[in-house]
Protein backbone atom coordinates (compact mmCIF):
# COMPACT_ATOMS: atom_id res chain seq x y z
CA UNK A 1 0.00 0.00 0.00
CA UNK A 2 1.06 3.57 -0.63
CA UNK A 3 0.39 6.94 0.94
CA UNK A 4 0.43 10.24 -0.91
CA UNK A 5 3.18 12.55 0.38
CA UNK A 6 3.04 15.32 -2.20
CA UNK A 7 1.66 16.18 -5.62
CA UNK A 8 2.40 18.99 -8.06
CA UNK A 9 1.52 20.14 -11.54
CA UNK A 10 3.41 22.24 -14.06
CA UNK A 11 2.60 23.30 -17.59
CA UNK A 12 3.89 19.99 -18.98
CA UNK A 13 3.80 17.54 -16.07
CA UNK A 14 2.03 16.02 -13.09
CA UNK A 15 4.10 14.52 -10.26
CA UNK A 16 3.26 12.51 -7.17
CA UNK A 17 5.54 11.44 -4.35
CA UNK A 18 4.35 8.28 -2.65
CA UNK A 19 5.47 6.57 0.52
CA UNK A 20 5.57 2.82 0.89
CA UNK A 21 3.56 2.19 4.04
CA UNK A 22 5.38 -1.05 4.89
CA UNK A 23 8.83 0.52 5.22
CA UNK A 24 8.48 4.31 4.85
CA UNK A 25 10.48 4.45 1.61
CA UNK A 26 9.49 7.08 -0.94
CA UNK A 27 9.50 7.45 -4.71
CA UNK A 28 8.31 10.07 -7.17
CA UNK A 29 6.46 9.48 -10.45
CA UNK A 30 6.24 12.22 -13.06
CA UNK A 31 4.01 12.04 -16.15
CA UNK A 32 4.94 14.48 -18.89
CA UNK A 33 3.45 15.71 -22.12
CA UNK A 34 6.17 17.53 -24.04
CA UNK A 35 5.37 20.34 -26.45
CA UNK A 36 5.35 19.49 -30.15
CA UNK A 37 6.88 22.80 -31.23
CA UNK A 38 10.68 22.65 -31.46
CA UNK A 39 10.95 26.24 -30.18
CA UNK A 40 9.36 25.15 -26.86
CA UNK A 41 11.67 22.16 -26.22
CA UNK A 42 14.40 24.04 -24.29
CA UNK A 43 11.87 25.54 -21.86
CA UNK A 44 10.32 22.11 -21.39
CA UNK A 45 13.70 20.53 -20.57
CA UNK A 46 14.48 23.31 -18.09
CA UNK A 47 11.07 22.81 -16.44
CA UNK A 48 11.60 19.06 -16.12
CA UNK A 49 15.11 19.45 -14.69
CA UNK A 50 13.64 21.51 -11.82
CA UNK A 51 11.32 18.63 -10.87
CA UNK A 52 14.06 16.24 -9.73
CA UNK A 53 13.58 15.29 -6.07
CA UNK A 54 15.91 17.18 -3.72
CA UNK A 55 16.89 14.00 -1.89
CA UNK A 56 18.06 10.78 -3.48
CA UNK A 57 14.85 8.74 -3.47
CA UNK A 58 13.88 6.98 -6.74
CA UNK A 59 12.25 9.02 -9.50
CA UNK A 60 10.61 7.81 -12.71
CA UNK A 61 9.54 9.98 -15.63
CA UNK A 62 7.15 8.58 -18.21
CA UNK A 63 4.68 9.46 -20.94
CA UNK A 64 4.80 11.31 -24.24
CA UNK A 65 8.01 13.21 -24.97
CA UNK A 66 6.93 14.14 -28.56
CA UNK A 67 10.46 13.93 -29.93
pLDDT, one tens digit per residue, over 1-49 is: 999 999 999 999 999 999 999 999 999 999 999 888 889 989 998 998 8
**In degrees to the nearest 10, what's the CA dihedral of 32, 49, 10, 29?**
50
> CA-to-CA distance for 59 and 16, rounded, in angstroms?
10
Q: What is the pTM of this model?
A: 0.80
The domain tally of the chain equals 1
Amino acid sequence: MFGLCHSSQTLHSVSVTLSILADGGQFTCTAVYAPTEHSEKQGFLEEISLLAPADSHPWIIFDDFNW
